[in-house]
C-alpha cells in the first residue's frame, strides 16, 4: 500500500481532482469530461476515501481505495467491488457502478465511479423492517455460477476465529495493552476455539447467497423524500450464509458503532419477522433464527479483535487513514466492563445474560 503520513480525503482532494482532469473517465450518465466540475470530500472510512463529483445536475461518487479488508491488492479490491455492484444493480438496493480504474496510471490507488444516492443514515428505530426486507431481496438474488466472483465464506465461525486470533495477538504481544484485558482476551480466544465447532450447523445445512458482512448504520442511505433505502458500502461482500448480515446488523458492537442505540428483544423480533415474511424459502424461514443466534458472539468477537489491533496501530502511527471518532469508539470497545457485558454469558453461562 502506497500511503503517506497525514493522508485523508481532504489532503488528497487535489490529487482526486487531478485524476478526473487527466483520466477523463467515461461511462457516467450525463457527464462531460471536458467541462467544468466540482469535487468535494464526502465520506472517509478506514480503507477508502469518497468524493462527491458534480457538474450541473449530474452528481456521482469517486471512491478511492487505500486498502483491502479481504487481503486483496488495490487492483483486485476495486474490481471485486465493481463486480459486486454490477450483480446487485437490477435490485436497486445499492449504488450503480459506472467504471473502475485499476491501472494506477494517474494515482497510487485504484478508483471506482458510482451513482450518488442522497439521503441520511439509517435510523434503527424507524427503518428496522425496511432494512430487513432489503436484506431478503439481495439474499435471494440468483447468481449464475459463471458470474460468481465472490470469495466463499467456507467454515463461517472458524473463519472469524482464524481472522480474530492474529488481530488479538497483535494486542497481546504489543507490550502496550492493559494486562487485565490481555487475560480476558486469552479467555475469549479459548472459548471461541471451542465454540466454533457449532459451525457444523451451517456445513450440514448450507444456504449460500451474496452477503454484505458490514451493515452498520452509516453504510445505509435513507431518502425520506423518495421513500427509498440503499446499502451503499460493499467493501467486503462474500458468498455465505444470510445469518451473517442479520447478526452483524443487530449486535451491540454494530449498533453502537455510530449511534448510542442497542436493540431490545422487541426490536430484534420486529426485524426478524419482517425478514422472514419477505423470504420465499420455508426452510430458511424456519432456521434463520438459530443460524443468526450462533453468529452473534462471533460478530462481536470480530469487532473487538479489529478494535484491539487498530488501537495498537493508532499508538504506533501505522494506520494510513485516521479518524478521531473511530479512535474514541475503539477505545470504548476495549473497556473491560463493556467486554464482559458482551461475552461473560458465553464464557460462563452461569454469569448471566449477554448483551446480545
> pLDDT digit string (tens) for 166-221?
999 999 999 999 999 999 999 999 999 999 999 999 999 999 999 999 999 999 99
Residue 6: what pLDDT? 78
As a whole number, mean pLDDT of residues 258-265 equals 93
Residue 4: its pLDDT value, please?
Answer: 52
pLDDT-derived band at 5 (thresholds 50, 70, 90) equals: low
Question: β-strand 111-115 against 238-240: which pairing, if any?
Answer: unpaired
Question: 249 falls in which pLDDT band (50, 70, 90)?
Answer: very high
Ranges of beta strands (E only) in the chain are: 38-44, 48-55, 58-65, 97-101, 111-115, 209-211, 220-223, 228-231, 238-240
Residues 52-100 pLDDT 10s: 999 999 999 999 999 998 999 989 999 999 999 999 999 999 999 999 9
pLDDT confidence of residue 323: 79
Q: What is the structure's pLDDT at 14?
A: 97
Ramachandran sector of residue 17 (left: φ over 0; alpha: ψ -120 to 50; beta: rest): alpha
pLDDT recorded at residue 1? 39
Q: Which three-class secondary structure state does DSSP give residue 119? A: coil
Q: In the prediction, which pLDDT does 350 show?
A: 64
Rounded distance, CA 67 to CA 77, Å? Answer: 8
pLDDT for residue 354 is more than 70: no
pLDDT value for 2? 39
Determine the Cα–Cα distance for residues 233 and 32; give it in Å rounded to an integer: 26
Q: Which domains does the chain have, with CATH numbers?
A: 13-115 (3.30.200.20), 124-351 (3.90.1200.10)
Q: Give the pLDDT confidence of 265-298 residue by residue, as tens digits.
A: 999 999 999 999 999 999 999 999 999 999 999 9
What backbone phi and psi angles, to 5 degrees, belong to 334? -100, 15
User: What residues are paired with 51 via a beta bridge?
Assistant: 41, 62
The string of pLDDT tens digits covering residues 293-324 is 999 999 999 999 999 999 999 999 988 777 78
Q: What is the pTM of this model?
A: 0.92
DSSP 33-58: TTS--EEEEEEE-SSEEEEEEEETTE
Q: Are 153 and 237 in contact (CB under 8 A)?
A: no
Rounded to an integer, what distance in angstroms lies between the CA atom of residue 95 and that of residue 228?
Answer: 12
Instruction: Round the average pLDDT of the chain to a whole number and report it.
Output: 94
Amino acid at each position: 500500500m502506497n500511503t503517506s503520513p497525514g493522508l485523508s480525503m481532504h489532503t488528497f482532494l487535489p490529487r482526486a481532482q487531478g485524476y478526473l482532469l487527466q483520466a477523463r473517465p467515461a461511462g457516467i450518465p450525463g457527464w462531460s469530461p471536458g467541462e467544468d466540475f466540482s469535487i468535494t470530500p464526502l465520506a472517509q472510512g478506514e480503507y477508502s476515501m469518497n468524493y462527491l463529483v458534480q457538474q450541473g445536475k449530474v452528481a456521482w461518487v469517486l471512491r478511492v481505495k487505500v486498502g483491502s479488508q479481504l487481503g486483496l491488492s488495490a487492483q483486485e479490491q476495486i474490481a471485486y467491488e465493481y463486480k459486486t455492484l454490477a450483480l446487485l444493480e437490477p435490485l436497486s438496493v445499492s449504488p450503480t457502478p459506472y467504471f473502475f480504474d485499476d491501472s494506477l496510471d494517474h494515482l497510487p490507488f485504484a478508483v471506482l465511479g458510482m451513482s450518488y444516492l442522497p439521503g441520511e443514515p439509517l435510523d434503527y428505530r424507524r427503518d428496522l423492517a425496511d432494512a430487513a426486507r432489503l436484506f431478503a431481496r439481495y439474499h435471494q438474488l440468483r447468481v449464475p455460477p459463471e458470474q460468481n466472483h465472490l470469495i466463499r465464506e467456507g467454515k463461517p465461525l472458524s473463519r472469524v476465529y482464524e481472522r480474530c486470533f492474529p488481530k488479538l495477538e497483535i494486542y497481546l504481544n504489543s507490550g502496550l495493552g492493559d494486562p487485565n484485558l490481555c487475560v480476558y482476551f486469552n479467555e475469549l480466544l479459548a472459548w471461541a476455539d471451542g465454540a466454533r465447532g457449532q459451525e457444523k450447523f451451517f456445513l450440514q445445512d448450507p444456504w449460500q447467497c451474496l452477503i454484505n458482512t458490514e451493515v452498520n448504520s452509516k453504510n445505509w442511505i435513507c431518502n425520506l423524500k423518495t421513500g427509498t433505502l440503499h446499502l451503499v458500502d460493499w467493501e467486503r461482500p462474500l458468498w455465505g450464509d444470510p445469518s451473517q448480515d442479520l447478526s452483524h446488523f443487530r449486535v451491540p458492537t454494530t449498533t453502537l458503532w455510530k449511534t448510542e442505540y442497542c436493540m431490545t428483544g422487541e426490536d430484534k423480533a420486529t426485524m426478524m419477522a419482517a425478514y422472514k415474511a419477505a423470504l420465499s424459502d420455508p426452510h430458511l424461514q424456519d432456521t434463520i433464527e438459530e443460524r443468526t443466534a450462533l453468529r452473534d458472539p462471533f460478530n462481536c468477537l470480530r469487532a473487538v479483535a479489529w478494535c484491539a489491533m487498530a488501537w495498537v496501530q493508532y499508538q504506533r502511527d501505522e494506520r494510513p487513514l485516521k479518524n478521531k471518532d473511530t479512535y474514541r469508539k475503539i477505545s470504548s470497545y476495549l473497556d473491560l466492563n463493556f467486554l464482559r457485558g458482551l461475552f461473560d454469558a458465553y464464557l460462563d453461562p452461569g454469569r448471566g445474560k449477554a448483551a446480545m
